[in-house]
Each structure stands twice: as C-alpha cells, then as structure tokens.
Amino acid sequence: MNPARENTPSLQEHRRVLEEKIFQIDTKWPEFRPLLEALQKIGESLAGHETVVDLGRYYVYDGTCLFAPYFSKAKHYLGADCILPNWKEVYGYQRWMVEGQRLIRVRPEVVTDITRLPIRDGVVDWVIIPNIVEHVDEPEMMFREAFRILKKGGRAFVFAPHIREEHQAPYDYFRYTRFGLRHLFEKSGFDVESIAVASGIFDVLSKTTMLALEYLPPGKQKIFGFFFNRLLKPLLWKYDRLYRENRVPKVKECPMAYLSFLRKH
C-alpha cells in the first residue's frame, strides 16, 4: 500500500476537525452544526456531473478550502478565495486552527472579488456561500453574481448570521432577518425555496452570556464561567433543541443564523 495514501486524512477526520477545532459546534458555536449538516447533504446529493462553486474567505485559514471534501462527487469543484482589501495583511491569521490538523488540503482555484467572479454566465450547478455574507459590503452584487453564473435550474445555498457580535473589524457590515434575505434574493432574480433557522433563542441567550462573561474581571470571569459552562450552557442548548419550533409568530423569531436554499428559474 502506498504510504502517502495511508497518511492522507479521511473525510471523517476532516469533518472532526471542522466540528471540534474550527467551528466548535459542541462547545462554542452550535449554530454551525446545521451549516455542516447542510453541506454534507448537498455533497451526498450530487450525481457526479455537477459544477460546484464555493465562495469563501479561505486565505484566513492559510489558503485551505474547508468545505471542498464535502463535494468530492462533483465533476468540477471550484474554490474561490474571496478577498477583502487588506487580505495580504491578514493572510493566515486563523492559521492556528488548521496547523497540525488532519485536514484534506484543497487550495482555492481562484482568488477574486466576490462581486466580480471570473466565471462565465450559466455554467454552474451549485453556488455555496457558507459563512461570508456579513463581510461583503455590496451583498446585492454578490447575489447577482451567484445568479449570473448559475445554469437555469441551478441552486444556491447561503448561510447568514442574524445575531452575532462584531468581528473581524472593520470588515463586518450587516446582519440579516429572513425578510431582508428574501428581499435580496428575489431582487437578484432567485426563487426562494426555503429559509430556515440555524438555531433558536436559547442559543442566542447562551451566546450573549458567553460574550458578557468577557466583560467581567478575570477572577469573576473564571468563577461565573465555571458555573455557566457546567450548569447553564448545557441546559440552554438542550432547550434550544427541544423548543426550536417557535410557539410565537414567525415575526418574533430570534435565531443565531439562517440557512437558505435558492433556485434559478
């Protein structure tokens, strides 16, 4: 057996790193669990003739397309590293998350502005926009580009935050409601198949409590953090799973993020 192949990480190992090290779905960010599950289902649904374009900021992970292995069945996978103006200054600033990890390393095929994709009209079956939309200052242009490159009947998947702290300043521009997302999608030409919550209000309460702990002095932070992590956080996460179905009108939903499936008619 080829030793090089023996040392190649498996898809299972790759997923474990995403879940435990990068997205920390069991300890910090449970809203990313539905994201990873959705990407897995899309990848498994491929018949083998599709072209998939994955739009992300993978330069921050040392130029690693985190989700490429999910789409190994695609005829052609194109990872697009969507740069920001200061990308050379921050290249690899989250390298520590991928260093020494059992990841399947796939490099971006293109480095580009997400609002000006170097891809021909109507040639793509799937556009994946997994965790970048809040960092795009012209979101309508991004969605119009996604619509442009899709074939008729092609589909897009979008993960967008609703509640989250400001991060990666100063390149953090927007938060989206389901109604704002629908407006942008339809204005860009898409038919909206579904917009679903990635978590519920109890996850929001857990997340904001974790952020609030950072404002405490170190001593109190350690004490309150211990009780929160041991007692309150597991209870809130349990409630978030139990009471995900909103018992109040949809206009009062308060999730961490939304997952959207779109189609080009």
How many residues are there in the chain?
265
In tens, the pLDDT along 174-198 reads 999 999 999 999 999 999 999 999 9
For residue 4, what pLDDT is reported? 43
The backbone torsions φ and ψ at residue 62, rounded to the nearest 5 degrees and listed phi first, read 60, 35
In a domain, 68, yes or no: yes
Establish if 13 belongs to a structural domain.
Answer: yes
Range of the domain at 256: 3-200+244-263
111 found inside a domain:
yes
* Assigned domain for 218 exists: no
Give me the number of domains the chain comprises: 1
Residue 3, pLDDT above cutoff 70: no
Q: Residue 246 has what pLDDT? A: 62
> Of the ranges 47-61, 185-199, 245-259, which one carries the lowest mean pLDDT score?
245-259
* Cross-strand bridge partners of residue 81: 56, 111
82 close to 56: Cβ distance less than 8 angstroms: yes
Residue 83 has pLDDT above 90, yes or no: no
Percent of the chain past pLDDT 90, that is, above it, reads 78
Q: What is the average pLDDT score of the chain?
A: 91
- Whether 223 is in a domain gets the answer no
Whether residue 235 is contained in a domain is answered as: no
Task: Flag whether 14 is in a domain.
Answer: yes
**Does residue 234 belong to any structural domain of this protein?**
no
Residue 17: its pLDDT value, please? Answer: 96
Sign of CA dihedral 134, 119, 108, 263: positive
Per-residue pLDDT at 1: 32
**CATH number for position 44:** 3.40.50.150
